Every structure is written in C-alpha cells, then in structure tokens.
Structure 1
Amino acid sequence: MNKSIITLRKKAISGGRFSLYLDYYPPFWDSKTNSFSRREFLKLYLYQKPADQYEKMSNTENLHTAELIRARKQNEINKSEIYSAFEKEQLAIQAVGNESFLQYYKNLGNKKVGNNLSIWACAIIHFEAFLKGRDLSFKEVTVSLIEDYRDYLLKAKSLRKNKKQLSRNTALSYYNKIKTTLKAAYREDKLKTDINAKIGSIKEMESQRNFMTLEETRRLFATPCPKLIVRRISMFSVLTGVRYSDIAKLTWSELHYIEGDGHYIIFRQQKTEGAASIPISDEAFELLGKRRGENEKVFKDLNKWDVDRALPVWVALSGINKHITFHCFRHTYATLQLSAGTDIFTISKMLGHKSVKTTQIYAKVIDQKKRDAANRISLE
C-alpha cells in the first residue's frame, strides 16, 4: 500500500506574501468541489520580506500553526491505514450519517417524470419549509421529527395563490413521498433504523367520485361536441379507464395486437410509474384512427386547453347537470364495469391500481346506489 504524504508548501501571491497550503500525494477527495485535489489552502500567510519585528513574529506563528495542521492531517491519514475492520465500519457509518438527507430526497424526486415530478417538487418545498431553511443529515432523521412533519402537513397552507389549507388527501400524498424516501434510504443502509415502519400515517379521506350513468354516457356521446378530438378521447377513456395524462402521451408503439386475443395497450403509467397491460375493445381501438409511425403520438393534435374549454360546453349541451371533468370518465368506466358485474379485482388491474383498496371506493358508490333504489319503494 502506498503511504500518503502531506507536504507544507507556499505560493507567492499579491501584496508581497506567500499563501501556505498542504500538498497531498496521492490526491484527496474534496467534498466541497466533488472532485480530487492535491491542494488544500490553509488561509495562512507569510510575508516574503518581513519589514519589522511584528511581521517576523507573524511569519513564525503562522508557519508553526500550518505545521501543526499538516502533522495532524498526516496522523489522521496514517491512522486510517491501520484502522481495524470495526473502526472502518464505524467511520463509514459516521460518514453516511453526515450526508444530507434533504439532498437525497431531492435527488429521488428529480428522477420522477410528468405530473409525478411536480407533485414530488411540491412535497419537497413543504419539507424545506418545515425545516425552516436548514439542511438535514441522515443522523438527524428521527421518528419524532417525521411525526412533527406529519403534524405540519395537516395544518400547512397550499402553495397556490388561494393559500387554502392543504386537503387531507394532498397532505397524505406529500407525506407518502417522505415515507418512500425513508424506505429507500433504509434499503441503501443510509438509515440504520427503519423509521418508516415506526412512524404514524395520515388517514385517507374518501373523496367524491363524480361519474355518469350509462344513460347519461350515451346521451353525452349522442350530443355533438365542439371539438371532435375531445369526443374521441372521452369515449376512449370511458371504454378503457385510461387517464388523460396517459392518453396524451400514448404512442403507436404501445398498441399491440395478439392473434386470437385482441388489442392491448402496454405502457408505463405517468402518475404511478407502474407498467400496465390493458386489453381494449374493438370499439375503443377504432377510435384511434389510422396507424402511423411507431413513435408518433396516437392523438397528435390533442391540446389540454381545448379539452378544458370544450368539455363543460359539451356536457351542458347534453343536459347533464353534473360537474364532469375529464377524470370523471375514468370513474364512469369503473362504475359501469361494476354495474355490469365485473369483479373488483379485475377492475383494479384494468385501472392499474397498486392496491384493490383504491378501487373499493367505486364498490361503495354502487352499494349506495343500491341502497337508494331500495329506499324508493315504500308501502306506508
């Protein structure tokens, strides 16, 4: 093993002075610049030609201080070469503990794409606000700190101009991002304790799922739409349950045909980043039009602005007195499937849900409709 050598050197600078620095061989890793370096300047100086007793004394003191620093650094390096395996392990743990958990969180968020990227970005902004501008190392991450952050989210204001309090489900979404980060850090041994397993959670609040009945759906599509492409993608969503974000990015390479089975979409969902393989009906496939280049978008003229303007007008023209957004077509698909007798596990897979619990809200909607129907008949 080549022994590391540290030499005290000086460099001439302006003002008739020398700047003292340490010369490392081999080079050391500089965490400030994220690169290897031979030089470490000590911010200690010598007068090249001391003019009086004061400057001579200053030279002596600074040279002595610099030599002490060099000797200490050399001892540290020499010591590292004879550390036991246990000592090296403890030093490695200490080094990781000093790394920035906040930066690790940001790096994880930057790997996301699409709408998921913006959600992670908002979650990180709230975490920085909770930290009040300070950094956070891995060794400072504790159960109590994360639970304090949970309490912060339940009272935090939105980043939007309205400054309303975050909804419970938005707070849950942001909280889940930090939980995901904690799990990843534990897997990578950056956290020695599985903090995620010890912290509490935020209970999801069931949100209202607006949807259309089969009669309303048929009425809507029998009504002329101001934008033909809006009608096409709306029908496609009702027939497949695919989100707008996934429809907008759908390319022909993601459309497949299996002989004896039919048409499939095989793609990665933008929201969940999960891979999905969804069979689609011939009726849905016909909405896609003539096949073009594999990397071309299926709905190449699609514009979100057109959708947001045309949809409310189209719904009003159809006489449907409900607040219908594009995402309601996905809800409509789920409730129509349940009403038709499709089991909830199949629907969960078709919607690309990670857990069937997410899909069960639709079953509750259908059960309520059954209860409402039962209560309509009275003999009193």
Structure 2
Amino acid sequence: MKIKLKKKRLASGKYSLYIEYYKGKATDVDGKQVHSREFEYLKEYLFINPSTASEKKENEETLLRAEQILSIRRAEYAQGKYGIKDKSKDKLLFLTYYDKVKEERYESKGNYDNWDAAQNHIEDYIGKRKISFEDIDEEFVIGFKKYLNKKARTKSNTELSQNSKYSYYNKFKAALRQAFDDGYTRRNFATSVKGFAQGESTREYLTQEELQAMANAYCKHQVLKNAFMFSCLTGLRWSDINKLTWLEVRDEEEGSRLIFKQKKTSGQEYQYISNQARQLLGKRKKEGSLVFKGLKYGAHFNAEILRWCMRAGITKHITFHSARHTHAVLLLEYGADIYTVSKVLGHKEIKTTQIYAKIVDKKKKEAANLIPELEMNYEF
C-alpha cells in the first residue's frame, strides 16, 4: 500500500491536506481496472498564494504537522504489516478503553444501558488494580467470567440472571475483540474462553380474553391506557410509541400506516395499523407534536399498569413491554406466519421471533387437555 500526502484546492483560496491510502488496482466484471483508494482528511489547510510573512510561516507549520501525521500513518502501517507491536498501547488502562468503546456505541446501538451495567461489574471485578493491556491474559478473562457467575450481585443484592451474565460477558468480549482489531492485544482473548449460554426468558403476555378485560377496566391515566392498547394492537416498543409524532402517522385511502425509524435498531419501518389502533391515536394534531403527549416512563406509570391489571382481574406481572409480546402471540394464534410477525416486530433475525412460536405451541398442548376426561372402557 502506498501512503501519500496530497492537497485539494478549495473555493476559499486554500488547499485542504489529506492522506491517500492507495491499495492497488483490480479488474472488475466488465474487464475494467478499478483503483482502490481511501482518504483521511486532516483538517489542515495551506494558503495557496501566501502574501505575508505570517501566512508563509503558518504554511510551514501546517505542512510540518501534516508530514508528521504522514510519518505516523506510515509507521502504523509498517507495524501492522511486519507484526511490530506498538508498545505505548500496552500501558493504556482497560477500563479507559472500555469506556471509549461504550461511548462510541451510544448513538449507534440500542443497548447502551447494558454496556454501562457491564462496566459497573468490570469495575467491581478489577477493584483497585490498575489493569492495562499488558496485564490482560486468559486468566484475567476467566476470572471475570467466574466473578459474574459467583460473586456479582444486582442492586437488590441477588445473583445475576442467566441472561444478565450472558449480556454482560458479551459486552466484555466485544471490547476485547475491538481491542484486538485496534492492535492493543496480539491475541483475540474474546475467543479464548467460552461464554455463557443464553437463558430463555419468560415473556409475559395477555390472552385475547385478558386483553378485552384490560380494555373494559379503568386506568387512572388515559394516555397510558391508549398507548398500552396501541402497543398490543401494533407491537411497537415503548421507546417508539413515546417518540411517535403525527408526522409519522399517515392516513391514506387504503388505511393508516406508520413510517418511522426504530429507536433501538435505527431501522426504517413502514407499518400498516388497524382501524381500531388508529382510533386510539385520536384526532390529528400538528405534524411535529407527540401523538401520546404526557406519556412517561417511571415507577408511577409502571405501578399503575399493575393496578389496572388487578382491576381487570389479571394477576400476571404485566409491564408495558408485555404489550409487544401480546401482539406477537395473538398474531401467531390467529394465523399470521412467523416471517410476517418478524417483520411487524422489526426483528433483524427470525430466531428472535421464534420464541413466540414456542409459546403458541405450548398453548396448543394445553388446549389438548382442556376437554374433561370421559368415563370409558378401553378395549383393544
């Protein structure tokens, strides 16, 4: 690979300096040669025609900085090509690096809270030790797994659930994997120790009869009731319902649909909704205004859902997210195929949806034994 410092003329009367990484050429399917290049813009600028001594001096200093960066990039490439390790990276503390990786996932990922929770356990495991990358080995990785399995506790001082162990250890491994890719370790410790198996969590949901009872029961906050029932009828997450605006609700001739971007996955969604779901939204308001204005997430609203359930005669531990589970189960019970359900829920992988199919299968098994036994003489 060739690494060169280049400049681009700007309309402002300056040159913009950048580094070109030339990776060679290849022949495409049409027989044409295609050159592979990548660019790193340095945000360093030169006067095209310096007219004063200060401008000339500034050009000299800018060019010197750019050439120093060029030297560093060439050295980094050589280290990777010939397996030369950057010794300075050994001294970086693992927790400092983990925090950096976590923050990089703040906007792009939907599980930032899990990264944050995992960090708390990593900090507890490390304690007062100053663990840098030169201290990380297989024993360190095994130690964290043992810590999660035996010593780690929740805020309520209970053992971690199987899925919490699975999630936190995966975040730990993801940071180690990224550290290997970034050249902080010579070995990918993420693959050296087997992780936790993912537990099958209980997904509480409402039957059609229970959902009807909820619809008939009193709820102290009408906006909460409307939003919860809307989730049961559409499968939308609380995070997407909470931020839903009238701009994302389209009333069309063939019905109403939502055009929105999922908060968790950032995926663009186009979802038709039933007439009843549309009625729960009420009359249209200004495009930029929230549909469910006044909806809040917190202990008060969570407690009200449980009280609402009690008024409906339901003893299950129902949360707002149970509405999404309810939608999935009811769709399958009323004949929707699992692929369609997966798309409605916005799942990236169909295996995420298959848990609901297992729930429906369980209900079928229960239904097989609903008919009371008959008094019979069995003769063969």
TM-score (ref. length: structure 2): 0.68
What pairs up with 1:272-311 in 2 under 5 angstroms?
Answer: 273-283=265-275, 284-305=277-298, 306-311=300-305
- Are residues 285 and 87 of structure 1, via their aligned partners in 2, closer, same or farther at CA, if it must alter by over 3 Å? closer
Matching residue within 229, 233, 248 for 1:239 = 233
Letter in 1 for 2:91: N
What pairs up with 1:225-374 in 2 under 5 angstroms?
Answer: 225-256=219-250, 262-270=256-264, 273-283=265-275, 284-305=277-298, 306-374=300-368
Q: Which residue of 1 aligns with 2:151?
A: 156
Matching residue within 115, 128, 132 for 2:123 = 128
Letter in 2 for 1:350: V
SS state of the match for residue 280, structure 1? Answer: strand
Q: Which residue of 2 aligns with 1:104?
A: 97
SS state of the match for residue 111, structure 2? Answer: helix
SS state of the match for residue 203, structure 1? Answer: coil
Aligned-residue Cα RMSD (Å) equals: 3.0
Equivalent residues of 2:79, 2:86 under 8 A apart: no
- Are residues 224 and 87 of structure 1, via their aligned partners in 2, closer, same or farther at CA, if it must alter by over 3 Å? closer
Equivalent residues of 1:156, 1:166 under 8 A apart: no
Query: In structure 1, how many angstroms separate the alpha carbons of the residues matched to 2:273 and 2:129?
Result: 54
Query: In the alignment, does 2:169 pair up with 1:182?
Result: no
The superposition leaves residues 141-180 of structure 1 with CA deviations (integer Å, 9 ceiling, x where unpaired) of: 33442232112111233341x3111111111121121122
Query: In the alignment, does 2:190 pair up with 1:217?
Result: no
Letter in 2 for 1:336: L
Q: Which residue of 1 aligns with 2:142?
A: 147
Query: In structure 2, how many angstroms separate the alpha carbons of the residues matched to 1:295 and 1:146?
Result: 49
Deviation at 1:98, TM superposition (A): 3.1
Query: In structure 2, how many angstroms separate the alpha carbons of the residues matched to 1:143 and 1:349?
Result: 41
Deviation at 1:257, TM superposition (A): 6.4
The superposition leaves residues 94-145 of structure 1 with CA deviations (integer Å, 9 ceiling, x where unpaired) of: 2333333321211222342698333322210110111122233334333442
- Are residues 86 and 225 of structure 1, via their aligned partners in 2, closer, same or farther at CA, if it must alter by over 3 Å? closer
Query: In structure 2, how many angstroms separate the alpha carbons of the residues matched to 1:307 and 1:108?
Result: 33
Query: In structure 2, how many angstroms separate the alpha carbons of the residues matched to 1:220 and 1:175?
Result: 39
Q: Which residue of 1 aligns with 2:114?
A: 119
- Are residues 208 and 86 of structure 1, via their aligned partners in 2, closer, same or farther at CA, if it must alter by over 3 Å? closer
Q: Which residue of 2 aligns with 1:17?
A: none
SS state of the match for residue 269, structure 2? Answer: strand
TM-score (ref. length: structure 1): 0.68
Equivalent residues of 2:258, 2:272 under 8 A apart: yes
Range moving further from structure 2, 319-328 or 283-292:
283-292
Q: How many residues align?
A: 296
Letter in 1 for 2:320: F
Deviation at 1:293, TM superposition (A): 4.5
Range moving further from structure 2, 191-200 or 320-329:
191-200
The superposition leaves residues 72-97 of structure 1 with CA deviations (integer Å, 9 ceiling, x where unpaired) of: xxxxxxxx9xx998679666532333
SS state of the match for residue 368, structure 2? Answer: helix
- Are residues 193 and 252 of structure 1, via their aligned partners in 2, closer, same or farther at CA, if it must alter by over 3 Å? farther
The superposition leaves residues 226-257 of structure 1 with CA deviations (integer Å, 9 ceiling, x where unpaired) of: 22111110111101112223322333444456
Query: In structure 2, how many angstroms separate the alpha carbons of the residues matched to 1:293 and 1:156?
Result: 53
Equivalent residues of 1:276, 1:352 under 8 A apart: no
Letter in 1 for 2:235: G
Deviation at 1:217, TM superposition (A): 0.8
Gaps of 5+ in 2: 1-71
Equivalent residues of 1:250, 1:298 under 8 A apart: yes
The superposition leaves residues 278-320 of structure 1 with CA deviations (integer Å, 9 ceiling, x where unpaired) of: 5131432332234445543322211234522422222122222
Equivalent residues of 2:85, 2:183 under 8 A apart: no
Query: In structure 2, how many angstroms separate the alpha carbons of the residues matched to 1:163 and 1:122?
Result: 15
Letter in 2 for 1:299: F
Gaps of 5+ in 1: 1-79
Letter in 1 for 2:370: R
Q: Which residue of 2 aligns with 1:47?
A: none
SS state of the match for residue 353, structure 2? Answer: helix
Query: In structure 1, how many angstroms separate the alpha carbons of the residues matched to 2:354 and 2:76?
Result: 56
Letter in 1 for 2:361: D
SS state of the match for residue 258, structure 2? Answer: strand
Equivalent residues of 2:255, 2:272 under 8 A apart: no
Query: In structure 1, how many angstroms separate the alpha carbons of the residues matched to 2:132 and 2:239?
Result: 36
Question: Higher Cα Rg: structure 1 or 2?
Answer: 1
- Are residues 187 and 264 of structure 1, via their aligned partners in 2, closer, same or farther at CA, if it must alter by over 3 Å? farther
Equivalent residues of 2:235, 2:344 under 8 A apart: yes
